[in-house]
Amino acid sequence: MKYLNGRDLADFIKERQAKQVRALRQAHKVFPRLAIVLTTTDNPVINTYVGLKQRYGNDILIDVDVHTVPQEKALETISELN
């Protein structure tokens, strides 16, 4: 029986995604971007999660923008970003 190495699989997926992003940039001049809309920064778990998304985005050549806004401005911010 062969066991699946999760780290190797994750690295393979990340590299494949980076290649796809590079291809989009070169062939079609498409620059993927992730926008994260936060309504609070009080929770360290959320901050850690957002940091992980930023780091992963950087690893696969995607720009990651974090927008921290009051709760009542969240939908407006999402509409503006779309």
Q: Residue 1 falls within a domain, yes or no?
A: no
Q: Residue 69 falls within a domain, yes or no?
A: yes
What's the total number of domains in the chain? Answer: 1
**C-beta separation of 36 from 49 below 8 A:** no
Residue 62: which domain range?
Answer: 6-81
The pLDDT of 68-73, averaged and rounded, is 95
Distance CA 75, CA 40 (A): 14
- Give the pTM: 0.82
Q: Residue 71 falls within a domain, yes or no?
A: yes
- Give me the CATH number covering residue 68: 3.40.50.10860
Q: What is the pLDDT of residues 44-69, one digit of tens each?
A: 999 999 999 999 999 999 999 999 99
